[in-house]
Amino acid sequence: MPNTILVHREEPIAVVQLNRPEVLNALNEELMGELLLSLQQLDADDAVRCIVITGNEKAFAAGADIKETFVTATPVTMLAQDLTTKWEGIRKVKKPIIAAVSGYALGGGCELAMTCDIIVASETAQFGQPEVNLGIIPGAGGTQRLARAAGKYVAMELILTGRRFKAEEAKSIGLVAQVYPAASWLDDAKALARTIAEKPPVAVRLATEAIDLAFSSTLEAGLEFERKAFYLLFATEDKQEGVDAFVNKRTPVFKGR
């Protein structure tokens, strides 16, 4: 049983809740290890088609655990902890992951959200990359992913000042897909996950990979991948099902084959 997260299975979705409320879900080594393991297990589980990562109303995550991780850290101890392996492992999960943010998503918390495929937020959410206030910079992808989401000039202002910004601003800069009311944010995020879980899983996976390629390849290479993936989907049963359901005016049932 994990100590620092709670896993709620609500097939075909699963909700992984960060659970260190006494420190606003600060991301320590144990939590990152348990989070990675649970995501890998859910990724391998055919009954689960979409994953939600969330925290509680007050905090998604207030960043790396400053007291546990940074107080006595040296470059050598940071290297030995091999933090990057866990973050890379999360990035490699194939099933779509939605970050459902309420309250603080700061530093590594904001970066964890950006490691997911979609970010949605309660109107109470507060994002930020405040590392500069600690004499450091984002180290889990913040400079790269925020710049790709919001553009160079907005990312510069946010990261060089470390200021916090609210859900509506996060939406206006392209970081957040939807802002939900404080009373229903988690239910709304789960409804989004269920909508995605009803879609054909192979198409969802290839669309996710294609969109990610837009940020790590040339346009030419991305278009080439998209074309191949598009043709590949014509070999799936779910394509037959989707087209047949359209023609016969019925709701499709996708099986992931």
47 contact partners, CB below 8 Å, separation of at least 6 = 9, 11, 12
The window from 48-56, 60-68, 198-206, 224-232 that contacts ligand DAK (CB under 6 A) reads: 60-68
**Running DSSP on this structure, what letter comes out for residue 117?**
S
Strands (E), 1-91: 5-10, 13-18, 50-54, 59-61
- By C-beta, is 96 or 130 nearer to ligand DAK? 130
The verdict on 23 binding ligand DAK (CB under 6 A) reads yes
- By C-beta, is 115 or 236 nearer to ligand DAK? 115
The verdict on 33 binding ligand DAK (CB under 6 A) reads no
Q: How many CA atoms lie within 13 A of 131 on its CB side?
A: 20
**108 classed as catalytic:** yes
The verdict on 140 binding ligand DAK (CB under 6 A) reads yes
The verdict on 106 binding ligand DAK (CB under 6 A) reads yes
Print the binding letters for residues 66-105 with ligand DAK: x by CB under 6 A, - otherwise. Answer: xx---------------xx--x----------------x-
Contacting residues toward ligand DAK, per CB under 6 A? 23-24, 26, 62-67, 83-84, 87, 104, 106-108, 130-131, 134, 139-140
